[in-house]
Amino acid sequence: MKKQERVDFVIEKLEELYPKTPIPLDFKDGYTLLIAVLLSAQCTDKRVNEVTPFLFEKADTPQAMVKLSVDEIRDIIRPCGLSPTKSKAIHTLSQILIDKHNGEVPNTYEDLESLPGVGHKTASVVMSQWFQFPAFPVDTHIHRLMTRWKLTNGKNVEQTEKDAKRLFPEAIWNKLHLQIIFFGREYCPARGHIEANCPICSKI
């Protein structure tokens, strides 16, 4: 297959397999989504969804979060890993939201990425899933699959994001990035991947 044929096949197959794309993290607004995505770094969405109900029961707004100590936050989020760093980031970014953004989650990459603990991928998820801004957050699944499908050279996630945005229509970015994640988890794992059993890798 030529590259454009591979792109078209990937779009068609993912739409067939995942016509609906529920966001895998549980949240109720922009703030709780931001915190959930921050917690998901080097942690499974399943584990995050097990932890956030306890955290959000105590604090689901920046104003409530800053009333907790960093130690209290750390104790709750410990199962997510990297809890010392993440707890400080959550407490500090909550104070920044209050001081600089009237307690609201900002809707620009620049403002989001200036928050502690918020990198480009986290900002992209919030921009796409909360603000519905066309974005293509690249996680390890997307980076791995784009490389396997020979749609990027796989040098780094930044290059993968550029290639994805160039190859796929902007109108489907927000849905497609979730479809690729779901596909990677179900059919195309990092280890133990059997190409012949993969509905996409076996064809392209």
The domain that holds 175 is classified in CATH as 1.10.1670.10
Least confidently predicted of 44-48, 63-67, 146-150, 153-157: 153-157
Q: Is the pLDDT assigned to residue 122 strictly greater than 90?
A: yes
Residue 202 lies inside a defined structural domain of this protein: no
Q: Tell me, yes or no, whether 112 and 155 share the same domain.
A: no
Angle at 201 between CA 196 and CA 204, to 5 degrees: 115
| Shared-domain flag, residues 117 and 35 | yes
Q: What is the pLDDT of residue 37?
A: 98
Range of the domain at 154: 3-21+135-197
> What are the tens digits of pLDDT across the range 42-72?
999 999 999 999 999 999 999 999 999 999 9
CB 138 within 8 A of CB 160: yes
Residue 39's nearest CA partner among 127, 47, 111 is 47
Residues forming the active site:
121, 139
Residue 65 lies in a domain: yes
pLDDT tier for residue 140 given thresholds of 50, 70 and 90:
confident
At 37 the three-state DSSP class reads helix
* Count of domains forming the chain: 2
Spatial distance between the Cα atoms of 63 and 133, rounded to a whole number of angstroms: 26
Identify the CA nearest to 120 among candidates 68, 83, 156: 156
Residues 152, 96 within the same domain:
no
DSSP class per residue in 152-201: S--S-HHHHHHHHHHHS-GGGHHHHHHHHHHHHHHT--SSS--GGG-TTT
46 and 125 housed in the same domain? yes
Q: What is the model's pTM?
A: 0.92
Q: Closest by alpha carbon to 178, among 5, 38, 14, 51?
A: 14
Largest pairwise CA distance in the chain: 57
> In this predicted model, what pLDDT tens digit does every residue of 84-103 receive, in sequence order?
999 999 999 999 999 999 99
Boundary residue ending a domain (129, 154, 183): 129
pLDDT cut 70: percent of the chain above it = 100
pLDDT above 80: residue 141: yes
| Judgement on whether residues 15 and 81 belong to the same structural domain of the protein | no
**Residue 107, pLDDT above cutoff 80:** yes
Name the band, by pLDDT with cuts 50, 70 and 90, for residue 155: confident
Is 204 inside any structural domain? no
Question: Pick from 90, 109, 129: which residue ends a domain?
Answer: 129
